[in-house]
Structures are given as structure tokens and as C-alpha cells.
Amino acid sequence: MGPRGSTHVSAFEGYNGQAYSLSGDKGRYVLPPAFRNAIKDSSGGAKTLCLAAHDKFDCLIGFSVSRIPELRAKLDKEEQRAVDMKDYDWDRDVRAQQLFGFEQIPFDESGRFNMPDHLRDLGNVGDGLYFHGAGDFFFIWNPEELDQMDRSFRGAKATCKKMKAEAEAKARSKTKGGKK
């Protein structure tokens, strides 16, 4: 539009920040506010978390449905690169199943969601999840898996350790206070 009008521009600028979530009742997890708000903002209010196993690390990744067109474009770009490089081992079907093998999981207003068992197994998910923004997606780590990563993850490991201790202390204080 012109200088007097305005167009709506999504406030989504990627996933950033960190959070920790303990497993709730019935094995549910809570998508932290910053991440659930980013998902809703980037997908027109849809409360759908896309979850997949990371193809390199023993963790999960999360993102919104708004990323699907980007994944299609990435697949096409990778195919063109393989053709240009004469990489005859590159397989579109293999890569497509890696990119599009995610689950679409609904979450409620509080961010609660149920994680499918196969994703729990693939991500080695335990009693708590550490969320770490990575721009186009966010990592979802079992703290024990993250702790095994190399030095390049030292910042994430330190943040996770602190957030986990705080969440567990808060849960213990609720239990002692009879609130649970």
C-alpha cells in the first residue's frame, strides 16, 4: 500500500530464546510461551506444533506449519544443486521423507500437547524438555542427550542445566507446599 495505508506484516522473525518444561500430568508437555506465540504468529493463529527428529543430533526439532512451503523450496533447491554437481547418489525421495516426516500436533491455549510415542523414542525424551531457538526452527532436547554434545553446545548445556534445576526446585516447593 501507499504511504498512508499499511499492510499487515507478520511479527515472526524466527525462533529464539530458551526454556525448560517438565513433563506434566498424563505425560503431557508444555510448549513455552515464547515458542507457542511464535508458532501462532507465524501461522495465522494456528495452534499446531510440527515436530520431527533432527536428522543429525539425538533430539527433536519444532516449527510451525508456515515453514512447509520453505521446505518444498529447499527440496527443489537441493535437487537442482545435486543435478548441477552431478551428484547421482542424491535421492529426492530419501530427502523428502527426511524433510516432511514431521508430525503436526495440536496444542491448547496453555501450550499443552501430547507427544507421540515414536517421537518420544526418537528424541530420547524423558521427564523434561529443553527448548532452544535456532531461527527457522527450535531444538527440543532431553538434557542428558544435550549434555553429551561437544563443546560447540556449551552455552546451551549451561543454560539447560540452570533452567532444569530451577524447574525442579519449583516443582519440589509446590509438592512440599501441598499444592500438587
- List for the chain the helix, strand, coil content (%; round to 5): 45, 20, 35
* Model pLDDT for residues 91-144, shown as the tens digit of each residue: 999 999 999 999 999 999 999 999 999 999 999 998 899 999 999 999 999 999
Q: Does residue 17 form part of some domain?
A: no
pLDDT average, residue stretch 81-86:
97
Contact 60/138 with Cβ under 8 angstroms? no
Q: Of 56-65, 73-82, 90-99, 170-179, which gets the smallest average pLDDT? A: 170-179
Q: Give the pTM.
A: 0.86
**Does residue 59 lie within any of the structural domains?**
yes
Indicate whether 42 belongs to any domain. yes
Structural domain contains residue 155: yes
Question: Considering its fold, how many domains does the chain have in total?
Answer: 1
Instruction: Please give the residue range of the domain that contains residue 61.
Output: 30-69+102-168
Residue 139, in any domain of the structure: yes
State the angle between helix axes of 68-84 and 92-99 in degrees (0 to 180), rounded to the nearest 10.
150
CATH number at residue 37: 3.40.1550.20
Residue 92: the pLDDT is 97
d(CA 10, CA 106): 21
Query: Across all residues in the chain, what is the average pLDDT?
Result: 90
Asked if the structure places residue 43 within a domain, the reply is yes
Mean pLDDT (whole number) for 32-57: 94
